[in-house]
Structure 1
Protein backbone atom coordinates (compact mmCIF):
# COMPACT_ATOMS: atom_id res chain seq x y z
CA UNK A 1 0.00 0.00 0.00
CA UNK A 2 2.87 2.36 0.66
CA UNK A 3 4.06 1.77 -2.89
CA UNK A 4 0.61 2.57 -4.31
CA UNK A 5 0.38 5.82 -2.33
CA UNK A 6 3.72 6.88 -3.85
CA UNK A 7 2.72 6.05 -7.42
CA UNK A 8 -0.73 7.68 -7.43
CA UNK A 9 0.48 11.28 -6.76
CA UNK A 10 3.10 10.82 -9.48
CA UNK A 11 0.51 9.65 -12.02
CA UNK A 12 -1.79 12.51 -11.05
CA UNK A 13 1.01 15.04 -11.54
CA UNK A 14 1.88 13.64 -14.97
CA UNK A 15 -1.80 13.74 -15.98
CA UNK A 16 -2.08 17.41 -14.99
CA UNK A 17 1.10 18.32 -16.90
CA UNK A 18 -0.06 16.41 -19.99
CA UNK A 19 -3.48 18.07 -19.89
CA UNK A 20 -1.95 21.53 -19.59
CA UNK A 21 0.33 20.79 -22.57
CA UNK A 22 -2.65 19.82 -24.69
CA UNK A 23 -4.64 22.94 -23.93
CA UNK A 24 -1.87 25.56 -24.34
CA UNK A 25 -0.15 26.36 -27.63
CA UNK A 26 2.23 29.22 -28.28
CA UNK A 27 4.36 30.15 -31.30
CA UNK A 28 7.64 31.97 -30.88
CA UNK A 29 10.15 33.35 -33.37
CA UNK A 30 13.69 32.99 -32.06
CA UNK A 31 16.71 34.50 -33.81
CA UNK A 32 19.68 32.18 -34.21
CA UNK A 33 22.96 33.74 -32.99
CA UNK A 34 24.93 35.03 -35.97
CA UNK A 35 28.36 33.76 -36.98
CA UNK A 36 29.41 37.40 -37.47
CA UNK A 37 28.26 40.02 -35.00
CA UNK A 38 27.27 43.42 -36.38
CA UNK A 39 26.65 46.41 -34.15
CA UNK A 40 23.05 47.46 -33.60
CA UNK A 41 23.48 50.66 -35.64
CA UNK A 42 23.95 48.62 -38.84
CA UNK A 43 20.58 48.04 -40.48
CA UNK A 44 20.86 49.20 -44.10
CA UNK A 45 23.49 47.19 -45.97
CA UNK A 46 24.65 47.17 -49.57
CA UNK A 47 26.10 44.11 -51.30
CA UNK A 48 28.51 44.60 -54.18
CA UNK A 49 30.49 42.34 -56.49
CA UNK A 50 34.21 42.96 -56.39
CA UNK A 51 35.28 39.46 -57.36
CA UNK A 52 35.50 39.91 -61.14
CA UNK A 53 38.71 40.87 -62.95
CA UNK A 54 39.09 44.25 -64.55
CA UNK A 55 39.02 44.80 -68.30
CA UNK A 56 41.88 43.02 -70.03
CA UNK A 57 42.70 40.95 -66.93
CA UNK A 58 40.45 37.96 -67.56
CA UNK A 59 42.88 35.79 -69.57
CA UNK A 60 43.79 33.71 -66.51
CA UNK A 61 40.11 32.92 -65.91
CA UNK A 62 39.59 31.92 -69.55
CA UNK A 63 42.64 29.64 -69.38
CA UNK A 64 41.39 28.11 -66.13
CA UNK A 65 38.02 27.45 -67.76
CA UNK A 66 39.66 25.41 -70.52
CA UNK A 67 41.72 23.42 -68.00
CA UNK A 68 38.94 22.68 -65.49
CA UNK A 69 36.12 22.29 -68.00
CA UNK A 70 34.12 25.23 -66.68
CA UNK A 71 32.00 27.23 -69.08
CA UNK A 72 33.37 30.68 -69.85
CA UNK A 73 31.60 33.20 -67.66
CA UNK A 74 30.48 30.62 -65.10
CA UNK A 75 32.13 32.51 -62.23
CA UNK A 76 30.55 35.78 -63.36
CA UNK A 77 27.07 34.28 -63.32
CA UNK A 78 27.72 32.33 -60.13
CA UNK A 79 29.00 35.37 -58.25
CA UNK A 80 25.93 37.39 -59.21
CA UNK A 81 23.65 34.63 -57.94
CA UNK A 82 25.66 34.58 -54.71
CA UNK A 83 24.96 38.28 -54.18
CA UNK A 84 21.25 37.73 -54.71
CA UNK A 85 21.25 34.79 -52.32
CA UNK A 86 22.86 36.81 -49.52
CA UNK A 87 20.47 39.73 -50.06
CA UNK A 88 17.48 37.40 -49.98
CA UNK A 89 18.69 35.77 -46.77
CA UNK A 90 19.23 39.12 -45.03
CA UNK A 91 15.89 40.54 -46.19
CA UNK A 92 14.04 37.48 -44.90
CA UNK A 93 15.06 38.39 -41.36
CA UNK A 94 13.54 41.17 -39.25
CA UNK A 95 16.68 43.25 -38.77
CA UNK A 96 18.40 44.11 -42.05
CA UNK A 97 17.41 45.75 -45.30
CA UNK A 98 19.82 44.65 -48.01
CA UNK A 99 20.22 45.85 -51.59
CA UNK A 100 22.46 44.51 -54.37
CA UNK A 101 24.43 47.39 -55.88
CA UNK A 102 24.67 47.14 -59.66
CA UNK A 103 26.27 49.32 -62.29
CA UNK A 104 29.36 50.09 -60.18
CA UNK A 105 32.69 48.68 -61.40
CA UNK A 106 34.98 47.57 -58.60
CA UNK A 107 37.46 45.17 -60.23
CA UNK A 108 39.03 42.39 -58.18
CA UNK A 109 41.41 39.54 -58.88
CA UNK A 110 38.95 37.19 -60.58
CA UNK A 111 40.49 34.32 -58.57
CA UNK A 112 40.55 32.99 -55.01
CA UNK A 113 43.17 35.58 -54.09
CA UNK A 114 42.10 38.56 -51.98
CA UNK A 115 42.40 42.05 -53.47
CA UNK A 116 43.64 44.98 -51.35
CA UNK A 117 41.02 46.57 -49.12
CA UNK A 118 38.81 49.16 -50.73
CA UNK A 119 39.82 52.77 -50.32
CA UNK A 120 37.70 54.40 -47.62
CA UNK A 121 36.83 57.26 -49.97
CA UNK A 122 35.14 54.72 -52.24
CA UNK A 123 33.35 53.12 -49.31
CA UNK A 124 32.17 56.48 -47.98
CA UNK A 125 30.93 57.56 -51.41
CA UNK A 126 28.97 54.34 -52.01
CA UNK A 127 27.44 54.30 -48.55
CA UNK A 128 26.41 57.94 -48.83
CA UNK A 129 24.95 57.47 -52.31
CA UNK A 130 22.89 54.41 -51.36
CA UNK A 131 22.28 55.46 -47.73
CA UNK A 132 24.01 52.43 -46.23
CA UNK A 133 25.24 51.65 -42.74
CA UNK A 134 27.66 49.02 -44.05
CA UNK A 135 29.03 47.71 -47.33
CA UNK A 136 29.40 43.95 -47.87
CA UNK A 137 31.75 43.18 -50.76
CA UNK A 138 32.17 39.81 -52.45
CA UNK A 139 35.92 40.14 -53.00
CA UNK A 140 36.92 36.68 -54.17
CA UNK A 141 34.96 34.00 -55.95
CA UNK A 142 35.98 30.83 -57.71
CA UNK A 143 34.24 27.63 -58.74
CA UNK A 144 35.97 24.41 -59.73
CA UNK A 145 34.23 21.57 -61.52
CA UNK A 146 35.52 18.02 -61.70
CA UNK A 147 33.80 15.27 -63.74
CA UNK A 148 34.91 11.65 -63.44
CA UNK A 149 33.62 9.11 -65.94
CA UNK A 150 33.79 5.32 -65.99
CA UNK A 151 32.01 2.30 -67.41
CA UNK A 152 31.41 -1.28 -66.34
CA UNK A 153 29.91 -4.48 -67.70
CA UNK A 154 26.71 -5.37 -65.87
CA UNK A 155 24.30 -8.28 -66.12
CA UNK A 156 20.70 -7.59 -67.12
CA UNK A 157 17.66 -9.66 -68.00
CA UNK A 158 16.37 -8.95 -71.52
CA UNK A 159 13.47 -11.04 -72.89
CA UNK A 160 13.94 -13.42 -69.95
CA UNK A 161 17.58 -13.95 -70.89
CA UNK A 162 20.66 -12.80 -69.02
CA UNK A 163 22.87 -10.55 -71.12
CA UNK A 164 25.98 -8.51 -70.43
CA UNK A 165 25.71 -4.82 -71.31
CA UNK A 166 27.97 -1.83 -70.75
CA UNK A 167 26.75 0.81 -68.28
CA UNK A 168 28.24 4.28 -68.03
CA UNK A 169 28.76 6.33 -64.88
CA UNK A 170 29.69 9.94 -64.14
CA UNK A 171 30.43 11.75 -60.87
CA UNK A 172 30.30 15.55 -60.84
CA UNK A 173 31.88 17.57 -58.03
CA UNK A 174 31.62 21.35 -57.77
CA UNK A 175 33.53 23.42 -55.23
CA UNK A 176 32.68 27.09 -54.71
CA UNK A 177 34.75 29.49 -52.62
CA UNK A 178 33.43 32.97 -51.81
CA UNK A 179 35.32 35.60 -49.85
CA UNK A 180 33.52 38.51 -48.18
CA UNK A 181 34.61 41.76 -46.52
CA UNK A 182 32.29 43.96 -44.42
CA UNK A 183 33.12 47.68 -44.37
CA UNK A 184 31.59 50.04 -41.81
CA UNK A 185 31.96 53.67 -42.92
CA UNK A 186 30.98 55.31 -39.63
CA UNK A 187 34.34 54.60 -37.98
CA UNK A 188 36.22 53.19 -41.00
CA UNK A 189 36.18 49.72 -39.52
CA UNK A 190 36.74 46.38 -41.25
CA UNK A 191 34.08 44.40 -39.41
CA UNK A 192 35.04 41.05 -40.90
CA UNK A 193 36.89 39.38 -43.77
CA UNK A 194 36.21 35.70 -44.23
CA UNK A 195 36.03 32.99 -46.89
CA UNK A 196 33.50 30.18 -47.17
CA UNK A 197 33.70 26.91 -49.09
CA UNK A 198 30.72 24.93 -50.37
CA UNK A 199 30.82 21.63 -52.18
CA UNK A 200 28.11 19.77 -54.09
CA UNK A 201 28.17 16.34 -55.71
CA UNK A 202 26.01 14.54 -58.27
CA UNK A 203 26.18 10.97 -59.58
CA UNK A 204 24.38 9.45 -62.55
CA UNK A 205 24.42 6.32 -64.70
CA UNK A 206 22.93 5.38 -68.06
CA UNK A 207 23.21 3.31 -71.23
CA UNK A 208 25.32 5.84 -73.15
CA UNK A 209 27.85 8.52 -72.19
CA UNK A 210 25.57 11.18 -73.70
CA UNK A 211 22.63 10.04 -71.56
CA UNK A 212 24.71 10.23 -68.41
CA UNK A 213 26.00 13.73 -69.14
CA UNK A 214 22.51 14.97 -70.02
Structure 2
Protein backbone atom coordinates (compact mmCIF):
# COMPACT_ATOMS: atom_id res chain seq x y z
CA UNK A 1 0.00 0.00 0.00
CA UNK A 2 1.25 3.46 -0.88
CA UNK A 3 -0.12 6.25 1.31
CA UNK A 4 0.51 9.96 1.06
CA UNK A 5 -0.66 12.84 3.27
CA UNK A 6 -1.61 16.14 1.73
CA UNK A 7 -0.01 19.45 2.51
CA UNK A 8 -1.63 21.18 5.46
CA UNK A 9 -1.33 24.76 4.28
CA UNK A 10 -4.15 26.45 2.42
CA UNK A 11 -2.10 29.25 0.91
CA UNK A 12 1.24 28.89 -0.79
CA UNK A 13 3.32 32.04 -0.52
CA UNK A 14 6.75 33.14 -1.58
CA UNK A 15 8.70 36.36 -1.82
CA UNK A 16 9.94 37.72 -5.11
CA UNK A 17 13.12 39.70 -4.68
CA UNK A 18 12.44 41.56 -7.90
CA UNK A 19 9.32 43.02 -6.37
CA UNK A 20 10.98 44.44 -3.27
CA UNK A 21 10.86 48.18 -2.99
CA UNK A 22 14.02 50.21 -2.62
CA UNK A 23 15.80 50.01 0.70
CA UNK A 24 14.28 53.23 2.02
CA UNK A 25 10.70 51.93 1.70
CA UNK A 26 8.81 50.97 4.83
CA UNK A 27 6.91 48.10 3.17
CA UNK A 28 7.91 45.06 1.18
CA UNK A 29 5.79 42.81 -1.01
CA UNK A 30 4.87 39.15 -1.12
CA UNK A 31 3.21 37.23 -3.92
CA UNK A 32 0.71 34.70 -2.56
CA UNK A 33 -1.37 32.02 -4.24
CA UNK A 34 -4.99 31.65 -3.17
CA UNK A 35 -6.94 28.45 -3.90
CA UNK A 36 -9.99 28.78 -6.14
CA UNK A 37 -12.92 26.35 -6.46
CA UNK A 38 -12.34 23.36 -8.74
CA UNK A 39 -14.30 22.88 -11.97
CA UNK A 40 -16.02 19.87 -10.40
CA UNK A 41 -17.00 20.42 -6.78
CA UNK A 42 -16.11 17.66 -4.33
CA UNK A 43 -17.68 17.83 -0.83
CA UNK A 44 -15.33 19.39 1.71
CA UNK A 45 -15.67 16.38 4.01
CA UNK A 46 -13.94 14.26 1.36
CA UNK A 47 -10.26 14.79 2.06
CA UNK A 48 -8.77 11.41 1.16
CA UNK A 49 -9.16 8.98 -1.74
CA UNK A 50 -8.43 5.33 -2.46
CA UNK A 51 -7.27 4.90 -6.08
CA UNK A 52 -7.93 1.67 -7.97
CA UNK A 53 -8.64 0.38 -11.47
CA UNK A 54 -11.40 -1.99 -12.51
CA UNK A 55 -10.64 -1.72 -16.22
CA UNK A 56 -7.77 -4.21 -16.41
CA UNK A 57 -8.72 -7.71 -17.54
CA UNK A 58 -6.99 -10.68 -19.18
CA UNK A 59 -6.55 -8.76 -22.43
CA UNK A 60 -4.03 -6.44 -20.78
CA UNK A 61 -0.31 -7.12 -21.06
CA UNK A 62 2.86 -5.41 -19.93
CA UNK A 63 4.89 -5.57 -23.11
CA UNK A 64 8.57 -4.75 -22.98
CA UNK A 65 9.39 -1.51 -24.77
CA UNK A 66 11.79 -3.16 -27.24
CA UNK A 67 9.39 -5.98 -28.05
CA UNK A 68 6.53 -3.56 -28.65
CA UNK A 69 8.71 -1.38 -30.85
CA UNK A 70 9.77 -4.35 -32.97
CA UNK A 71 6.12 -5.15 -33.61
CA UNK A 72 5.66 -1.73 -35.20
CA UNK A 73 8.92 -1.99 -37.14
CA UNK A 74 7.75 -5.31 -38.62
CA UNK A 75 4.89 -3.33 -40.14
CA UNK A 76 7.38 -0.72 -41.43
CA UNK A 77 5.99 1.68 -38.84
CA UNK A 78 2.68 1.83 -40.70
CA UNK A 79 0.43 0.26 -38.12
CA UNK A 80 -2.88 0.94 -36.39
CA UNK A 81 -3.83 -1.16 -33.37
CA UNK A 82 -5.47 -1.15 -29.95
CA UNK A 83 -2.98 -1.77 -27.15
CA UNK A 84 -4.21 -2.74 -23.69
CA UNK A 85 -1.13 -1.90 -21.68
CA UNK A 86 -1.06 -2.75 -17.99
CA UNK A 87 1.71 -0.28 -17.19
CA UNK A 88 -0.15 2.61 -18.85
CA UNK A 89 -3.05 2.11 -16.43
CA UNK A 90 -0.68 1.85 -13.48
CA UNK A 91 1.11 5.02 -14.58
CA UNK A 92 -2.24 6.80 -14.70
CA UNK A 93 -3.05 5.80 -11.12
CA UNK A 94 0.34 6.83 -9.76
CA UNK A 95 0.42 10.12 -11.65
CA UNK A 96 -3.14 10.87 -10.54
CA UNK A 97 -2.25 10.28 -6.91
CA UNK A 98 0.82 12.52 -7.09
CA UNK A 99 -1.10 15.29 -8.83
CA UNK A 100 -4.01 15.15 -6.38
CA UNK A 101 -1.53 15.35 -3.53
CA UNK A 102 0.19 18.36 -5.11
CA UNK A 103 -3.09 20.30 -5.20
CA UNK A 104 -2.91 20.45 -1.41
CA UNK A 105 -6.56 19.34 -1.26
CA UNK A 106 -6.41 15.54 -1.07
CA UNK A 107 -4.62 12.66 0.62
CA UNK A 108 -4.54 9.41 -1.32
CA UNK A 109 -3.88 5.71 -0.95
CA UNK A 110 -2.93 3.33 -3.76
CA UNK A 111 -3.38 -0.27 -2.56
CA UNK A 112 -0.87 -2.92 -3.56
CA UNK A 113 -3.79 -4.91 -4.98
CA UNK A 114 -5.18 -2.04 -7.00
CA UNK A 115 -6.37 -3.91 -10.09
CA UNK A 116 -9.75 -5.39 -9.25
CA UNK A 117 -11.83 -7.72 -11.36
CA UNK A 118 -15.19 -6.36 -12.47
CA UNK A 119 -18.13 -7.31 -14.64
CA UNK A 120 -18.55 -5.36 -17.84
CA UNK A 121 -21.71 -4.18 -19.54
CA UNK A 122 -20.78 -4.21 -23.23
CA UNK A 123 -17.47 -2.29 -23.18
CA UNK A 124 -17.92 -0.34 -19.94
CA UNK A 125 -17.25 -1.69 -16.46
CA UNK A 126 -20.38 -1.80 -14.34
CA UNK A 127 -20.67 0.41 -11.28
CA UNK A 128 -19.00 -0.96 -8.19
CA UNK A 129 -21.29 -2.48 -5.50
CA UNK A 130 -21.53 -0.22 -2.46
CA UNK A 131 -20.48 -2.91 -0.01
CA UNK A 132 -17.17 -3.21 -1.91
CA UNK A 133 -16.75 0.58 -1.99
CA UNK A 134 -17.31 0.84 1.77
CA UNK A 135 -14.99 -2.06 2.51
CA UNK A 136 -12.12 -0.48 0.56
CA UNK A 137 -12.61 2.96 2.10
CA UNK A 138 -12.78 1.49 5.61
CA UNK A 139 -9.73 -0.70 5.01
CA UNK A 140 -7.59 2.22 3.85
CA UNK A 141 -9.27 4.86 6.03
CA UNK A 142 -10.28 7.15 3.17
CA UNK A 143 -13.39 9.20 2.46
CA UNK A 144 -14.03 8.21 -1.16
CA UNK A 145 -12.95 5.88 -3.94
CA UNK A 146 -11.62 6.83 -7.37
CA UNK A 147 -11.87 4.02 -9.89
CA UNK A 148 -10.67 3.88 -13.48
CA UNK A 149 -13.59 1.90 -14.87
CA UNK A 150 -12.71 2.08 -18.55
CA UNK A 151 -9.34 2.49 -20.24
CA UNK A 152 -8.68 2.23 -23.95
CA UNK A 153 -5.65 3.29 -26.00
CA UNK A 154 -5.17 3.00 -29.75
CA UNK A 155 -1.84 3.66 -31.46
CA UNK A 156 -1.52 4.67 -35.09
CA UNK A 157 1.90 5.14 -36.69
CA UNK A 158 2.95 6.29 -40.12
CA UNK A 159 6.30 6.27 -41.90
CA UNK A 160 6.92 7.86 -45.29
CA UNK A 161 9.56 9.38 -47.52
CA UNK A 162 9.05 12.94 -48.66
CA UNK A 163 11.05 14.94 -51.16
CA UNK A 164 11.37 18.60 -51.97
CA UNK A 165 13.45 21.21 -53.68
CA UNK A 166 16.00 23.44 -51.95
CA UNK A 167 16.20 26.69 -53.94
CA UNK A 168 19.27 27.89 -52.03
CA UNK A 169 21.33 24.88 -53.04
CA UNK A 170 19.37 24.32 -56.27
CA UNK A 171 18.94 20.65 -55.45
CA UNK A 172 16.32 18.09 -54.51
CA UNK A 173 16.29 16.43 -51.11
CA UNK A 174 14.62 13.44 -49.48
CA UNK A 175 13.68 13.02 -45.81
CA UNK A 176 12.17 10.23 -43.72
CA UNK A 177 9.04 11.29 -41.82
CA UNK A 178 7.57 9.48 -38.79
CA UNK A 179 4.21 10.23 -37.20
CA UNK A 180 2.45 8.67 -34.23
CA UNK A 181 -1.01 9.17 -32.76
CA UNK A 182 -2.16 7.82 -29.42
CA UNK A 183 -5.92 7.97 -28.96
CA UNK A 184 -7.15 7.47 -25.42
CA UNK A 185 -10.57 7.03 -23.87
CA UNK A 186 -11.08 6.69 -20.12
CA UNK A 187 -14.03 6.61 -17.75
CA UNK A 188 -13.28 7.56 -14.14
CA UNK A 189 -15.84 7.41 -11.35
CA UNK A 190 -15.68 8.84 -7.83
CA UNK A 191 -17.70 6.80 -5.33
CA UNK A 192 -18.91 8.41 -2.09
CA UNK A 193 -19.53 5.60 0.45
CA UNK A 194 -21.26 7.86 2.97
CA UNK A 195 -23.98 9.03 0.58
CA UNK A 196 -23.80 5.84 -1.52
CA UNK A 197 -23.59 8.10 -4.52
CA UNK A 198 -21.33 8.42 -7.54
CA UNK A 199 -20.40 12.08 -7.21
CA UNK A 200 -18.51 12.26 -10.49
CA UNK A 201 -18.41 10.40 -13.79
CA UNK A 202 -15.80 11.73 -16.16
CA UNK A 203 -15.20 10.43 -19.68
CA UNK A 204 -11.87 11.68 -20.99
CA UNK A 205 -11.05 11.44 -24.69
CA UNK A 206 -8.12 13.00 -26.52
CA UNK A 207 -5.24 12.39 -28.91
CA UNK A 208 -1.50 12.80 -28.42
CA UNK A 209 0.58 13.38 -31.54
CA UNK A 210 4.28 13.08 -32.38
CA UNK A 211 6.02 13.96 -35.65
CA UNK A 212 9.67 14.16 -36.66
CA UNK A 213 11.83 13.92 -39.77
CA UNK A 214 15.47 13.38 -40.74
CA UNK A 215 17.54 12.62 -43.80
CA UNK A 216 18.76 9.52 -41.94
CA UNK A 217 16.20 6.84 -41.05
CA UNK A 218 18.35 5.47 -38.23
CA UNK A 219 18.86 8.93 -36.71
CA UNK A 220 15.15 9.59 -36.96
CA UNK A 221 14.12 6.50 -35.02
CA UNK A 222 16.98 6.79 -32.55
CA UNK A 223 15.34 9.93 -31.16
CA UNK A 224 11.67 9.33 -32.00
CA UNK A 225 9.46 8.63 -28.97
CA UNK A 226 9.07 4.85 -28.50
CA UNK A 227 5.53 3.45 -28.56
CA UNK A 228 5.76 2.26 -24.95
CA UNK A 229 6.78 5.73 -23.76
CA UNK A 230 3.92 7.25 -25.72
CA UNK A 231 1.44 4.98 -23.93
CA UNK A 232 2.85 6.02 -20.56
CA UNK A 233 2.64 9.68 -21.56
CA UNK A 234 -1.01 9.10 -22.40
CA UNK A 235 -1.51 7.82 -18.86
CA UNK A 236 0.07 10.98 -17.47
CA UNK A 237 -2.10 13.12 -19.77
CA UNK A 238 -5.21 11.37 -18.43
CA UNK A 239 -4.10 12.03 -14.86
CA UNK A 240 -3.51 15.71 -15.67
CA UNK A 241 -6.91 16.05 -17.34
CA UNK A 242 -8.70 14.45 -14.40
CA UNK A 243 -6.85 16.42 -11.73
CA UNK A 244 -7.68 19.64 -13.57
CA UNK A 245 -11.35 18.79 -13.00
CA UNK A 246 -11.31 18.24 -9.23
CA UNK A 247 -8.16 19.99 -8.02
CA UNK A 248 -8.31 23.61 -6.86
CA UNK A 249 -6.93 26.32 -9.11
CA UNK A 250 -4.74 29.12 -7.84
CA UNK A 251 -4.98 32.90 -8.11
CA UNK A 252 -1.98 35.12 -7.47
CA UNK A 253 -2.33 38.25 -5.35
CA UNK A 254 0.10 40.73 -3.83
CA UNK A 255 0.37 41.53 -0.13
CA UNK A 256 2.43 44.19 1.66
CA UNK A 257 3.99 44.05 5.10
CA UNK A 258 5.89 46.59 7.17
CA UNK A 259 9.63 45.96 7.27
CA UNK A 260 10.70 49.18 8.97
CA UNK A 261 9.67 51.38 11.87
CA UNK A 262 11.93 50.12 14.63
CA UNK A 263 14.65 47.52 15.17
CA UNK A 264 12.19 44.70 15.88
CA UNK A 265 10.24 45.29 12.67
CA UNK A 266 13.52 45.19 10.75
CA UNK A 267 14.49 41.98 12.58
CA UNK A 268 11.21 40.25 11.67
CA UNK A 269 11.24 41.30 7.99
CA UNK A 270 13.51 38.51 6.65
CA UNK A 271 11.54 35.98 8.68
CA UNK A 272 8.32 37.10 7.01
CA UNK A 273 9.95 36.96 3.58
CA UNK A 274 10.98 33.35 4.24
CA UNK A 275 7.57 32.32 5.58
CA UNK A 276 8.76 31.84 9.17
CA UNK A 277 5.53 33.25 10.52
CA UNK A 278 5.61 31.79 14.04
CA UNK A 279 8.97 33.40 14.78
CA UNK A 280 7.97 36.68 13.15
CA UNK A 281 4.69 36.75 15.10
CA UNK A 282 6.51 36.28 18.41
CA UNK A 283 8.69 39.32 17.62
CA UNK A 284 5.71 41.42 16.57
CA UNK A 285 3.74 40.55 19.71
CA UNK A 286 6.69 41.60 21.89
CA UNK A 287 6.59 45.00 20.18
CA UNK A 288 3.00 45.47 21.39
CA UNK A 289 4.03 44.66 24.97
CA UNK A 290 6.46 47.56 25.04
CA UNK A 291 5.74 51.31 24.95
CA UNK A 292 6.09 52.84 21.51
CA UNK A 293 4.63 55.17 18.92
CA UNK A 294 1.18 54.73 17.39
CA UNK A 295 2.82 54.36 14.01
CA UNK A 296 4.90 51.35 15.07
CA UNK A 297 1.94 49.82 16.90
CA UNK A 298 -0.35 50.17 13.86
CA UNK A 299 2.27 48.66 11.55
CA UNK A 300 2.80 45.74 13.91
CA UNK A 301 -0.93 45.04 14.16
CA UNK A 302 -1.13 45.15 10.38
CA UNK A 303 1.69 42.59 10.10
CA UNK A 304 -0.08 40.32 12.58
CA UNK A 305 -3.20 40.51 10.42
CA UNK A 306 -1.18 39.38 7.40
CA UNK A 307 0.33 36.49 9.36
CA UNK A 308 -3.15 35.34 10.37
CA UNK A 309 -4.38 35.43 6.78
CA UNK A 310 -1.45 33.46 5.45
CA UNK A 311 -1.84 30.82 8.15
CA UNK A 312 -5.53 30.39 7.34
CA UNK A 313 -7.31 32.47 10.01
CA UNK A 314 -9.30 35.14 8.17
CA UNK A 315 -11.45 36.16 11.14
CA UNK A 316 -8.43 36.85 13.34
CA UNK A 317 -6.78 38.66 10.43
CA UNK A 318 -9.77 41.00 10.21
CA UNK A 319 -9.58 41.63 13.96
CA UNK A 320 -5.91 42.62 13.80
CA UNK A 321 -6.42 44.76 10.70
CA UNK A 322 -9.30 46.56 12.42
CA UNK A 323 -7.08 47.23 15.45
CA UNK A 324 -4.41 48.65 13.15
CA UNK A 325 -6.96 50.86 11.40
CA UNK A 326 -8.25 52.17 14.74
CA UNK A 327 -4.75 52.78 16.10
CA UNK A 328 -3.75 54.94 13.14
CA UNK A 329 -5.49 55.45 9.82
CA UNK A 330 -3.62 54.18 6.78
CA UNK A 331 -4.72 53.76 3.18
CA UNK A 332 -2.79 50.48 3.07
CA UNK A 333 -4.68 49.17 6.10
CA UNK A 334 -8.05 50.33 4.76
CA UNK A 335 -7.45 48.59 1.43
CA UNK A 336 -6.24 45.45 3.18
CA UNK A 337 -9.39 45.35 5.34
CA UNK A 338 -11.49 45.44 2.17
CA UNK A 339 -9.39 42.62 0.72
CA UNK A 340 -9.87 40.50 3.85
CA UNK A 341 -13.64 41.03 3.81
CA UNK A 342 -13.74 39.97 0.15
CA UNK A 343 -11.70 36.87 0.93
CA UNK A 344 -13.98 35.98 3.83
CA UNK A 345 -17.01 36.16 1.53
CA UNK A 346 -15.22 34.01 -1.05
CA UNK A 347 -14.47 31.34 1.54
CA UNK A 348 -18.05 31.45 2.81
CA UNK A 349 -19.45 31.04 -0.71
CA UNK A 350 -17.08 28.15 -1.44
CA UNK A 351 -18.51 26.23 1.51
CA UNK A 352 -22.13 26.64 0.39
User: TM-score w.r.t. structure 2 length?
Assistant: 0.46
Give yes or no for contact 1:206–1:212 (8 Å, CA) kept in 2: yes
1:191 Cα deviation from its structure 2 partner: 0.5
Matched, 1:68 2:76: no
Mapped to 2, the partners of 1:155 and 1:174 lie a distance apart of 32
Taking a change above 3 Å as real, the CA distance of residues 93 and 117 of structure 1, as seen in their structure-2 partners, is same
Taking a change above 3 Å as real, the CA distance of residues 90 and 166 of structure 1, as seen in their structure-2 partners, is same
- Tell which deviates more after alignment, 192-201 or 181-190: 192-201
Runs of 4+ in 1 over 6 A off after TM superposition: none
Mapped to 1, the partners of 2:184 and 2:39 lie a distance apart of 19
Question: Which ranges in structure 2 are unaligned for 5 or more consecutive residues?
Answer: 1-20, 64-70, 73-78, 223-352
1:155 Cα deviation from its structure 2 partner: 4.4
Q: Residue 148 of structure 1 aligns with which residue?
A: 158
Taking a change above 3 Å as real, the CA distance of residues 104 and 86 of structure 1, as seen in their structure-2 partners, is closer
Question: Which ranges in structure 1 are unaligned for 5 or more consecutive residues?
Answer: 1-17
Query: Quick one: which of 164, 184, 192 aligns to 1:184?
Result: 192
How many residues are aligned here?
Answer: 185
Give yes or no for contact 1:109–1:140 (8 Å, CA) kept in 2: no
Helix, strand or coil at the partner of 2:163: strand
Q: Alpha carbon RMSD of aligned pairs, Å?
A: 3.4
Q: Residue 128 of structure 2 aligns with which residue?
A: 118
Mapped to 1, the partners of 2:104 and 2:114 lie a distance apart of 28
Query: Quick one: which of 87, 96, 99 aligns to 2:97?
Result: 87
User: TM-score w.r.t. structure 1 length?
Assistant: 0.73
Q: Residue 88 of structure 2 aligns with which residue?
A: 78
Taking a change above 3 Å as real, the CA distance of residues 169 and 109 of structure 1, as seen in their structure-2 partners, is farther
Mapped to 1, the partners of 2:81 and 2:190 lie a distance apart of 32
Q: Residue 56 of structure 2 aligns with which residue?
A: 52
Mapped to 1, the partners of 2:115 and 2:212 lie a distance apart of 40
Structure whose residues are more often strand by fraction: 1
Q: Residue 289 of structure 2 aligns with which residue?
A: none
Give yes or no for contact 2:51–2:146 (8 Å, CA) kept in 1: yes
1:146 Cα deviation from its structure 2 partner: 1.3
1:68 Cα deviation from its structure 2 partner: 2.8
Q: Following superposition of structure 1 onto structure 2, how do residues 92-103 of structure 1 map, counting pairs within 5 Å?
A: 92-103=102-113
